[in-house]
Chains A and B, each alone.
Chain A
Amino acid sequence: MSDSDDARVDRLVDELVEAHPPGATSEEAFWGAQYDNGLAWVWHPEGFGGLGLARGLQARINQRLEKAGASTENRYRNLLGIAMGAGVLDAHASDEQKRRWLRPMFTTEEIWCQLFSEPGAGSDVAGLATRAVRDGDEWVVNGQKVWTTLAHVARWGMLVTRTDPDAPKHQGMTYFIVDMTADGVDVRPLYQITGEAEFNEVFFNDVRIPDEHRIDAVGAGWRVAVTTLMNERVAIGGNVPPRQSGYIGHAVDVWAESGSDDPVLRDRLLHLWAEAEAARITSIRANEMATAGIPGPEGSTGKLAWANLNKEITAFTTDLLGLDGTLYPDGYELVRPEGLAQHGPQKAFLRTRANSIEGGTSEIMLNILGERVLGLPGEPRVDKDLPWSEVPRG
């Protein structure tokens, strides 16, 4: 990226903020203007929320916007849309589809969710069984998705379906954008071991999707799904929290409050502190290398490292509580949590059990490290060339 591009986006941000002072403009109106000025996804083409510039410039834009008092909260409020959905539309959708969906996505007027995982398709998501059958200009969908964040508030869902059961599993899929308010879409809260429901189950019962809401070709669903997941990885990386923050910071606070001088507990705490700090510096190093355009192995270890550490640290913090660790102060009320609530040690201990499962299990992450980073050979795949309908499931 050249200096002149830096200067150009700086100027455009200043003009945007001047024309729509953040204090005197509603968030939605500001985000709409940001989209119209090409500062939403700066690497998208002009007219679709971008200016056709380098992707790396977006961080600069966001920082400058935040400095000027503008909110970039939409990126979290509509995380799946803005981080992943937009990438899918940019790479695979028609101009008409982009015009329909991108702007209200960015303004958060329309929230998005992602419908990939199924009860029978977890790590092997390409084995999914939700069926879409063509009926004239429409498709009729039946099946079940699971672990769907935001489905209960979403207007649109990124849906991967099986359209050709007789093709090998990667070839017979088609990708749609489904209207979550359509008849036959049933969203139910999925209660997890914490007693809360952050996620949903989504049932499709003869749901009709117009063919114009299909993304890319019939049978190209896996390719589009891979784009979605690659954007997920990019979105998850990025900001590195400060030293001794998050779970390890909490563990240190609980240790200090406990007044303990037990040398064994102290060594366990410092061990976790050291491991967490080494992982954190690795993330900083990874960001530096990625920004310089030389992504190395350090960029692929973060998800795995943090899943492990979060589990160990929260288990240790619960140990520090002693008998209080046997209590569950919030009770199991079976509710939907409000926003990102601060978890006490016991709830954090339970919640982090999912860190090594969600967004790619640690076993899958180890496969990725082994095969893509270290170049080790893959497992023999017994289902690769079989028609999907003949692959054992369950």
Chain B
Amino acid sequence: MADSPTVSYAPTEEQDLIRTTARRFLEERLPIPTVRELMMSEEGFDAKVWKDMAGMGWMGLAVAEEHGGSGFGPVELGVLLEEMGRAVTPGPFFGSAVIATTAIQEAATDTQRADLLPPLSSGETIATLAIFEDPRRWSVESPGTKAVRSGDEWVIDGAKRAVIAGTEADLVLVTASTDAGVSLFAVPAHADGVEVSPEPVLDPTRRQARVGFDSVRVGDGARLGGPDAAAALRRTLALAVTALASEQVGGAQRCLDMSVEYAKSRHQFGRPIGSFQAIKHRCAQMLMKVEHARSAAYHAARVTDDPDELAVAAPLAGSVASEAYVWVAGENIQVHGGIGFTWEHDAHLYLKRAKTSSLLFGDPSYQRHLLGQALGI
């Protein structure tokens, strides 16, 4: 067993600045009452806020400068996502600026990147990655969706689900089986034969769609990268899990903060309930889970350049942060008692985000399966 690489976890001044700027923006532009309005709206997000986020450089935070981004990496993206998790930020940011952008960076050729990334970095285009088909199958290999060569075109047939940001997307990146393995195609969402159906979702702050492909024709240039994109797709998912872990940490920390504030102010039996060990110990356990999740998430974000270590660190972060957030979000409701179960209280926003996040890219036991593969266990 090789020991883990030595990395520094302390934030840089630049990362602190990203954090404070993000927190201020989200508090001003997307405070919880606004989030609640958006989550009940048809669109689920505010195009004006999206534009202003783009103006802050968020969509291109981890995109190279030559492609219109700021050239930061997964650590800075993690800081931003931690703040978004804290604010349960609605909208297509994670689907487009994280997952789809990463897929293009990992799978596409230089020319395709130069073509596709600038409009994503500027927020003009919203993209999504359509990869999953069966509810409990998270592998990228052998999708049921097929792409068949016809002259100098590809014809795509199949159906995808759990397409995050699918309802907002202008561009759908879709995986399909070909003779050579699994390929990734960039398909305009309005192309003939593409049908996007919004899903009723557990977490209304993160929209999903089913996307059907009925004899959809695209040119050869729409295939991103080479004939077999499996390795690039696996890496994309590892990076998505890594990014999501930071968002989960931000949400879990907010749940802990809510519980601690409430335990200090709520009185029963003539005492603040936080003075009872039953509540105090629960909060302390929450703190421990949050700190462990933070460690796993921060570690993964810092080792993305080391493929062997990322193979361990990403599923480690995915399993630990997912379980921590679901548990802490649930305990937050318990600490609040009856009020925590009401629609009016914000606790359910976090529980719904937590549960959804723990399933999106493979549940914790699937993440541990990947971890075991990386460790030879």
What is the interface of chain A, defined by CB distance below 8 A to chain B?
242-244, 249, 252, 255-256, 266-267, 269-271, 273-275, 277-279, 281-282, 284-285, 288-289, 292, 294, 297-298, 301, 304-305, 363, 365-367, 369-371, 373-380
Point out the residues of chain A lying under 8 angstroms from B285, CB to CB. 366
* Bound CA span A184–B276, Å: 44
State in angstroms the CA–CA spacing of A285 and B260 once bound together. 23
B314 to chain A, nearest CB (A): 12
| Contact yes or no, B377 A252, CB < 8 A | yes
**Which of B44-52, B68-76, B226-234, B364-372 lies at the interface?**
B364-372
B368 — which chain A residues lie within 8 A by C-beta? 267, 270-271, 274
10 extra A-B contacts, CB within 8 A, seeds A274-B320, A376-B279, A377-B264: A243-B2, A256-B377, A274-B371, A275-B320, A278-B292, A279-B295, A367-B284, A374-B287, A377-B274, A379-B275
A294 to B375, CA, bound (A): 34
- Report which B residues bind A (CB closer than 8 A): 1-4, 8-10, 260, 263-264, 271-272, 274-275, 277, 279-281, 283-285, 287-288, 291-296, 298-299, 316, 319-320, 365, 368-369, 371-372, 375, 377
**Which residues in B have their C-beta under 8 angstroms from that of A292?**
10
Complex partner residue of A244 from B1, B264, B319, CB under 8 angstroms: B1
B287 engages A369 (CB within 8 Å): yes
**A53 to B293 CA separation, bound complex (whole angstroms):** 37
Taking a contact as CB atoms under 8 Å apart, the answer to whether A273 and B375 are in contact is yes
Given A275-B320, A282-B291, check contact A363 B284 (CB 8 Å).
Answer: no
Given contacts A243-B1, A376-B263, contact A282 B292 (CB under 8 A): yes
Give Cα A274–Cα B294 distance, bound, in whole angstroms: 13
Q: How far is the CA of A301 from the CA of B289 in the complex (A)?
A: 9
Complex CA distance for A288 and B283, rounded to whole angstroms:
25
- Distance between A391 CB and nearest chain B CB, rounded to angstroms: 20
14 A-B pairs with C-beta separation under 8 A? A266-B372, A267-B368, A270-B369, A274-B320, A274-B371, A277-B316, A278-B320, A281-B9, A282-B291, A284-B9, A370-B283, A371-B280, A374-B260, A378-B275
Partner among A242, A269, A374 whose Cβ is within 8 Å of the Cβ of B284: A374
Question: In the complex, which residues of chain A have a beta carbon less than 8 angstroms from the beta carbon of B291?
Answer: 282, 297-298, 301
- The reply to whether A376 and B280 contact each other, CB–CB distance below 8 Å, is yes
Q: Which B residues are CB-close (under 8 A) to A252?
A: 1, 375, 377
The answer on a CB contact under 8 Å between A380 and B320 is no
A294 to B365, CA, bound (A): 35
The 10 closest A-B pairs by CB, nearest first: A370-B280, A369-B284, A376-B274, A281-B295, A278-B292, A270-B368, A377-B275, A366-B281, A242-B3, A282-B295
Known: A273-B371, A278-B316. Contact between A374 and B8, CB under 8 A?
A: no
Complexed CA–CA distance, A153 and B88 (Å): 59
Q: Name which residue of chain B comes closest to A287, CB basis.
A: B9
Interface pair B287/A375, CB less than 8 Å apart: no
* Max chain A C-beta neighbours (<10 A), residue from B4, B277, B292: B292
Chain B residues in 8 Å Cβ range of A378:
275
| Assembled-state Cα–Cα distance A267/B368 (Å) | 7
With both beta carbons as reference points, the residue of chain B lying nearest to A301 in the complex is identified as B288
Task: Return the chain A residue nearest B279 by Cβ.
Answer: A376
Decide: A370 near B274, CB < 8 A? Known: A252-B377, A376-B264, A376-B283. Answer: yes
Q: A282-B291, A370-B281 are in contact. Are A376 and B296 (CB under 8 A)?
A: no
Q: Assuming A281-B296, A305-B288, A374-B260, is B277 touching A379 (CB within 8 A)?
A: yes
Closest-CB distance, B376 to chain A (whole angstroms): 9
Considering residues A256, A278, A292, which has the most beta carbons from chain B within 10 angstroms of its beta carbon? A278
B94 to chain A, nearest CB (A): 23
A255 touches which of B271, B279, B377 (Cβ 8 Å): B377
Q: What is the minimal beta-carbon distance from A34 to any residue of chain B, in angstroms?
A: 29
Q: Output the least CB separation between A362 and chain B (Å).
A: 9
- Return B87 CB to nearest CB of chain A, in Å: 21
Given contacts A266-B372, A269-B377, A370-B281, contact A377 B272 (CB under 8 A): yes
Taking A304-B288, A380-B271 as contacts, is the C-beta distance between A267 and B377 under 8 angstroms? no
Most buried by B among A244, A288, A294, A376: A376
Measured between beta carbons, the chain B residues less than 8 angstroms from A301 are 287-288, 291-292
Residues of A close to B3: CB separation below 8 A:
242-243
